[in-house]
Amino acid sequence: MGEHDALSDQAASYVLGALSPAERDVFELHLAQCSACAADVRGLSAVADAMGGAVQPAEPSAAVRARVVAAVGSGEPHRAGVPARRVRSAAPWLALAASLALAAGAVTYAIRLRGVVAEAQRAAAVLTAPDVARVDLAGQPAAPGASARAFWSRSRGLVFNGSDVPALPAGRVYQLWAVGPQAPTSVGLLRPDKDGGVHRVYDTPSDLPKPVALAVTMEPEGGVPAPTGEKYLVGLMPASTP
């Protein structure tokens, strides 16, 4: 089995936020280079988004719950334009999503599902942009074991994946900067999870001065207009970045 075949079956898990941080990082790297997987993500996102929006704030009976889960597993997404092979790999995750949404009475899980799907859609848009640029960020002396990868598109935004990022002390936050020829511009704030992983999708202004690097610093809670803290991650932009 080739790399594409191994990774393409992860599209449904990616859309539902079910991949581990390491798996998501590998899949997004592949997604940036694979139009077929990008199409799968778009198709599955539409199915999952519709599912999240269809849930009503009522507690269903056991019979209704069983019928919905059975319908999802029977291949209904195929009629929405998702390839049959992808339906087979997606069905267990979509069935799980439907089951959890219904069992919860629905509103809270539906909102969460739509948020996860929207995040996946935004990330996929950046990763498949024609002007996307990849930046590998290396840990600095303050965090030698940390690493990150970013994908930036002037037209669509920025996807950031970090690993082994040190835990934050109270009252502090990490801030991502696009370092331009004149001054750094804040991209946004980020917080690692308990395992040191970070995954964020940011909107960036279309008139952002051409960056020469990306950097992450530790700053006071709420962020600052200009960097003041120590650098934790730094990566140079490719020379061809628009």
Encode pLDDT of 138-196 as tens digits.
Answer: 999 999 999 999 999 999 999 999 999 999 999 999 999 999 988 999 999 999 999 99
Residue 47: pLDDT band with limits 50, 70, 90: low
pLDDT above 50 (res 1): no
3-state secondary structure of 119: helix
CB-based contact 204:181 (threshold 8 Å): no
Residue 208 per-residue DSSP state: P
Write down the number of H helices and E strands in the chain: 7, 8
Residue 70 burial by Cβ neighbours in a 10 Å radius (0-12, 13-18, 19+): exposed
For the ranges 53-57, 97-101, 190-194, 203-207, the lowest mean pLDDT is seen at 53-57
Mean pLDDT value across residues 103-114: 58
Q: 177: which residues sit within 8 A by CB, 6+ positions away?
A: 184, 185, 186, 187, 214, 215, 216, 217, 227
Mean pLDDT value across residues 82-100: 55
3-state secondary structure of 130: coil
What is the C-alpha to C-alpha distance for residues 151 and 129, in angstroms, rounded to an integer? 10
Q: Tell me the per-residue pLDDT of 196-234, one tens digit each, with 9 for 90 and over.
A: 999 999 999 989 988 999 999 999 999 999 999 999 999
3-state secondary structure of 177: strand
Q: What is each CA distance from 150 to 68, 89, 114, in whole angstroms?
A: 39, 28, 24
pLDDT at 36: 87
pLDDT at 117: 77
Q: Which of 55-64, 89-98, 107-116, 190-199 has the highest mean pLDDT?
A: 190-199
CB-based contact 30:63 (threshold 8 Å): no
Q: What is each CA distance from 168 to 75, 94, 140, 144, 202, in whole angstroms?
A: 45, 35, 16, 15, 20
pLDDT at 177: 98
pLDDT over 70 for what percent of the chain?
70
Mean pLDDT value across residues 105-120: 67
Choose among 116, 208, 201: nearest CA to 155: 208
pLDDT above 60 (res 77): no
The pTM (predicted TM-score) of the whole model is 0.71
What value does the mean pLDDT of the chain take? 80
Residue 4: count of CB within 10 angstroms of its CB:
13
Q: Which residue has the higher pLDDT, 54 or 18?
A: 18
What is the C-alpha to C-alpha distance for residues 34 and 177, in angstroms, rounded to an integer? 28
Mean pLDDT value across residues 12-36: 86
Token digits for 58? Answer: 């009522």
Specify whether domain 133-236 bears CATH 2.10.70. Answer: no
What is the C-alpha to C-alpha distance for residues 204 and 96, in angstroms, rounded to an integer? 34
The domain ranges of the chain are: 3-127, 133-236
For the ranges 24-33, 111-120, 151-160, the lowest mean pLDDT is seen at 111-120
Mean pLDDT value across residues 101-114: 58
Choose among 150, 182, 166: nearest CA to 217: 166
